[in-house]
Chain A
Amino acid sequence: MSAEGGHHGPIDPLFNPVIPGTEYHLPIYNFVITSWVIILILTITAILATKNMKRFPKGIQNVWEYAVEGLFGFYGGIMGEERARKYGPFLTTCFLYILLCNYSGLIPGAAMIKGFVPPTNNISITAGMSIMVFLSIFYFGIRAKGIGFFKHFFQPMAFLFILNVIEELVRPVSLSLRLYGNIYGEEMIIGKLAEMVPFLVPLPMMVLGVLTGGIQAFVFTLLASTYIAGATEEHH
């Protein structure tokens, strides 16, 4: 975990190019680049793993098959095999992306890079993720049930409409704040500890960081999957 982890306040963007034809800038911060690298890693390894698929997997294909099978099995327990196959790709991508983001702060030497923070340490990234989940609930729900999807706002009783709307709107707020808050808090503590005693003392917190990173990625996708399961269930 980077000693800069607890760094807060305005960080200067790494690049600040002007958008051609306008006078506006497009600041690109460190965490955005970290996030791009993670996306690239996921994409490249996924392409490599599926290029020459073998009956008995070896190497990188083995790793991916293990991850995908495990996660699909888990979603299957929540929404049933059939729907897990349908919505699993989205949820699995979320999980792996968040997991790598959370763990990116644990890379040895990351502390040497000034202003390096895990992408999930920034509310913009987590808010973006939860808005994706929020929109996907509507997208998957409407695709599965058509206009009948909106019926659940009036269930079980019509006067609960306003509560259901608030409940729906709180989802992205709580998703993004939970992920951001946990990672930010943990990074902050490690950063402050490393400032005071750089040797050995932050280690227990870093171990806890490994745990938090995994658990938060897991909780985020678990909640996303229960939301999607609720939105797409068929009424017979």
Chain B
Amino acid sequence: MTDDNGYQGYKGLGLIMSAGFTMAASVLFGYFAGSWLDKYFGTKPWLTLIMFILGTAAGLKSLYNLAFPKKEGD
């Protein structure tokens, strides 16, 4: 990755603007996937709870990945 081509500022701006929605979408995805699975298996409310927590964790993880992308050669 080259840091001196003048596009880094824009990249940072774009990532900041996308961060909020990424988090929200992960949590919502977890919740809805969980409640769908609960309906499918009839295990209300356990899968909703588990998927909700997993969705939140996945959201945090994807924010981490956006902030610290893996560099070449790692």
Contacts and interface: CB of A to CB of B under 8 A. Distances in A.
Interface of A: 73-74, 76-78, 80, 160, 162-164, 166-167, 169-171, 173-174, 177-178, 181, 215, 218-219, 222-223, 226, 229-230, 233-236
Nearest to B7: A77
Nearest to A181: B21
B25 A162 contact: no
Closest 8 A/B residue pairs (Cβ): A174-B25, A166-B58, A222-B14, A77-B7, A167-B58, A178-B21, A74-B7, A170-B29
Interface of B: 1-2, 5, 7-8, 10-11, 14-15, 17-18, 21-22, 24-26, 29-30, 33, 54-55, 57-59, 61-62, 65-66, 69-70, 72-74
A171 B26 CA distance: 8
B1 to A, nearest CB: 7
B55 A166 contact: yes
B11 A78 contact: yes
Contacts of A177: 21, 25
A80 B30 CA distance: 34
Given A163-B58, A170-B59, A229-B69, A215 B17 contact: yes
Contacts of B25: 170, 173-174, 177-178
B69 to A, nearest CB: 6
A126 to B, nearest CB: 13
Nearest to A76: B5
10 contacts: A76-B2, A77-B2, A80-B72, A166-B54, A166-B58, A167-B26, A174-B26, A230-B65, A230-B70, A236-B73
Contacts of B21: 174, 177-178, 181
A163 B61 contact: yes
B21 to A, nearest CB: 5
Given A160-B61, A173-B25, A215-B17, A73 B55 contact: no
A178 B58 contact: no
Contacts of B57: 163
Contacts of A77: 1-2, 5, 7-8, 11
A166 B14 contact: no
Contacts of A164: 58, 61
Contacts of A73: 5, 7
A209 B65 CA distance: 30
A230 B69 CA distance: 8
A80 B26 contact: no
